[in-house]
Amino acid sequence: MSDNKENTPMVNTGEYFTSGNLAVAEGSLAAGCKFFGGYPITPSSEVAEHMSIKLPQIKGHFVQFEDEIASIASILGASWGGWKSMTATSGPGYSLMLENIGLGIMTETPCVIVNVQRGGPSTGLPTLVGQQDIQQARWGSHGDYEIIALSPNSVQECFDLAIAAFNLAEEYRVPVTILMDETIGHMSEKLVIPDKEEIEIVNRKKPTDEAKDHLPYKADEDLIPPMAVAGEGYNVITTGLTHDERGYPVLDADTQKVLITRLLDKIRKNKDKIIKLEEYMLDDAEFVIISFGISSRAAKGAVNLARKKGLKAGYLRLITIWPFPDEKIAQLSEKVKAIFITEINSGQVTREVQRAVEGKSKVHGLFKLGGAIHTPTEIVEEIERRIK
């Protein structure tokens, strides 16, 4: 099986009319994913189903585990075996995965978690849209950490961001979440899968020193340590305990400070490289709508509608949800009259915008509580009502 060590991407170049769930699976394959551990849950199950067909064809493995806890644990294990790995779930399953997402953060394990959001809390609206796991993805696991989460708003972007998610996971050695939603997952649009040569792939840094001198958690200047995996002779060591550069548990405040500061900073200091935003008609905008995922489709429509009515509206879309673009929003707040946020929850991104704005402009959250999407008309009507 020595020919099976490489993460050979499966790129099914062509044009398709397909769903977001299948596109995120295809993007993962194109990124070199070889292991999927998962548990069925609506509205994400099509991701697992597609991977169960495709992964064995490239000598990868699909395993349907007994629950989501096993699924996330298995993909951490597979990543330490040198394979790019992923799982897909929805809110309730994501809740079950959180402890081991923390293990992934602490052990700096690259992997990708797709969360096709539905309405919650609890069983909520299994078959209907929600965007209510934004803060769960940020703070759900215990302890202090920084995380990367991406939010596609089209079928094409499900494919593109799957590749981006794997690349970010490999580059920063961190679990990356793709925060989709039921509508993005289930709607069908055109998907273009480019030629293999056009896809940029990032792989984790490998150590170059001798095994006997190797310090597995000694970071380079970029704050990211090279990663040896099992079977390479480095005698890999991982622990969820606070550890030093050797990977040995050292349970004191000094070691904690050094380790956690590095884990936070490797994301914080690279925010500018990580964060991707879409801007539309912002140059002269007096009113800005901030949105993401399916809500952003209506928000963009609302901007066009508002402009027709003579309102100087603009739009900022969060392609990267975490880390949050504080600086960009702070800058915007200095030049606009009001910021509106459309989201399918009761204000999870709005809180972040309020924090970033620091009172410098008005902030209005336009919320749906799950099960339905905003319409452009109602967004514009609400803007008109609030700016009177």
Residues that bind another protein (CB under 8 A): 1, 4-5, 34-35, 37, 53, 56-57, 59, 61, 63, 65-67, 69-71, 73-83, 85, 99-100, 103, 230-241, 246, 248-249
CB of 300 to another protein, least distance (A): 39
Rounded Cα distance between 49 and 295, Å, is: 27
CB of 34 to another protein, least distance (A): 8
Is residue 65 classed as helix, strand or coil in its secondary structure?
coil
CB of 113 to another protein, least distance (A): 14
Q: Which run of H or E residues covers position 338?
A: strand 338-343
Query: Residue type for 211, please?
Result: A
Residue 65 vs 280, nearer CB to another protein: 65
CB of 157 to another protein, least distance (A): 27
Token readout for 160 is 């593109």
Residue 59 vs 386, nearer CB to another protein: 59
Residue 73 vs 302, nearer CB to another protein: 73
CB of 220 to another protein, least distance (A): 22
Residue 102 vs 347, nearer CB to another protein: 102
Q: Phi/psi at 211 (nearest 5 deg)? A: -55, -40
Phi-psi region of 34 (alpha: psi -120 to 50; beta: other; left: phi over 0): alpha
Residue 77 vs 301, nearer CB to another protein: 77
Q: What is the CA radius of gyration of the chain?
A: 21
Which of 250, 26, 270, 251 is closest to 147 using CA atoms? Answer: 270
Q: Phi/psi at 129 (nearest 5 deg)? A: -70, 150
The DSSP symbol for 141 reads S
Geometric angle at alpha carbon 89, from 166 and 324, rounded to 5°: 55
CB of 178 to another protein, least distance (A): 19
Residue 175 vs 370, nearer CB to another protein: 175
Residue 82 vs 175, nearer CB to another protein: 82
Half-sphere exposure of 164 (CA within 13 A, CB side): 20
DSSP for 341-372, written as a single string: EEESSSSHHHHHHHHHHTTSSEEEEEE--SS-
CB of 313 to another protein, least distance (A): 47
Token readout for 247 is 């990977």
Q: Which run of H or E residues covers position 164?
A: helix 155-172
Rounded Cα distance between 261 and 268, Å, is: 10
CB of 68 to another protein, least distance (A): 10
Residue 64 vs 135, nearer CB to another protein: 64
Residue 235 vs 331, nearer CB to another protein: 235
CB of 232 to another protein, least distance (A): 8
